[in-house]
Structure 1
């Protein structure tokens, strides 16, 4: 669960009177509502896309949203996507090619949000191969950072694997651009 939301069903003429952080509406209803943070619920949205829109609306006071993709390279490759420090998605891959395809898909769904990729420095040949694949398949606007992996693999009790947790820690750290 992304946040603990309370929902109310309102008609458009009641919305401007009340204080709400975000208004969800059906497609075509947005023009009837006077509110700065309106999300039209398109049935084609993936869960990832909807989370992205919610985080952007909740952080609308920020000048620009920041996205990070964290990668814990190894035989099991942990990966995560953060938007404004909120976890959108995590997973583990065993194929570098599937990882690259997944990252490309997430960058498309982030729809132009400034997103950098941060990869841990402990993956040896796997890390080098992933970096080569990334450089050959990503737009120039996407920057790649190398991150010190020290103390990223300490497992905390969680529903996430240690690889996913390491990817999150990597995504939140500062490194150096390559």
Structure 2
């Protein structure tokens, strides 16, 4: 399975003459480990870029460019994982037919979440409340397009796991497949410092994401 960073080449281009827009766009791309090329608007127009990131004002320059997705700098104010998903989809969709969206959740006092799209990890975070998790899941499941959406939730905190599963099932019905996963072997000792605990929660969520569980259904 090819990794996004290995196949990007010149498919992602930053093209803007506005200093603030350029700074915001490149900051976002660097934070998300996405390779890019900086081109002038004329160079970008003649390039084979699949995606061009520019300012809203300058985007009109690229309206006639075919087979290219234009992303405005103002869109980066949205949930970053949604923008990254757009980029991943545009780059990967002709190479990989499987656009599966997989979310792994490690419930507990700190809730680890990992998101995979087109078999690429696009997010790995730790949240501190079930409310923040629900808000995050709503954005992911509503705004990222996928033929198959899977949410796998660890059973380490079974009450929280069931609450999350019930909410997702009630909201999305059959559009999302939900599994409750046995967490055995996915965690390490809790008597470690905070930074390592955050890493642990993310690692546990990754294991859960790829471990088959029991399909959750509401009676």
With structure 2 as the length reference, what TM-score do the two structures score?
A: 0.65
Q: CA RMSD in A?
A: 3.0
- Greater Cα offset, 4-13 or 42-51: 4-13
- Post-superposition shift, 1:67? 0.9
Separation in structure 2 between the aligned mates of residue 89 and residue 15 of structure 1, nearest angstrom: 31
- For residue 49 of structure 1, the aligned residue among 58, 61, 82 is 82
Residues 12 and 33 in structure 1, CA contact (< 8 A), matched pair in contact too: no
- Greater Cα offset, 19-28 or 97-106: 19-28
- For residue 3 of structure 1, the aligned residue among 2, 26, 33 is 33
User: Which residues of 2 match residues 6-155 of structure 1 at below 5 A?
Assistant: 6-12=36-42, 15-16=45-46, 18=47, 20=49, 22-25=51-54, 26-34=58-66, 36-41=67-72, 43-45=74-76, 46=78, 47-61=80-94, 62-111=96-145, 114-154=148-188
Equivalent pairs counted in the alignment come to: 175
Q: Which segments of 5 or more consecutive residues in structure 1 lack a partner in the other structure?
A: none
Residues 161 and 180 in structure 2, CA contact (< 8 A), matched pair in contact too: no
| Aligned partner of residue 160 in structure 2, secondary structure | helix
Instruction: Give the direction of change, closer, same or farther, for the CA distance of 1:102–1:23 in structure 2 (3 Å limit).
Output: closer
Q: Which has the higher helix share?
A: 2
Separation in structure 2 between the aligned mates of residue 113 and residue 83 of structure 1, nearest angstrom: 11
- Post-superposition shift, 1:43? 1.3
Instruction: Give the direction of change, closer, same or farther, for the CA distance of 1:11–1:136 in structure 2 (3 Å limit).
Output: closer
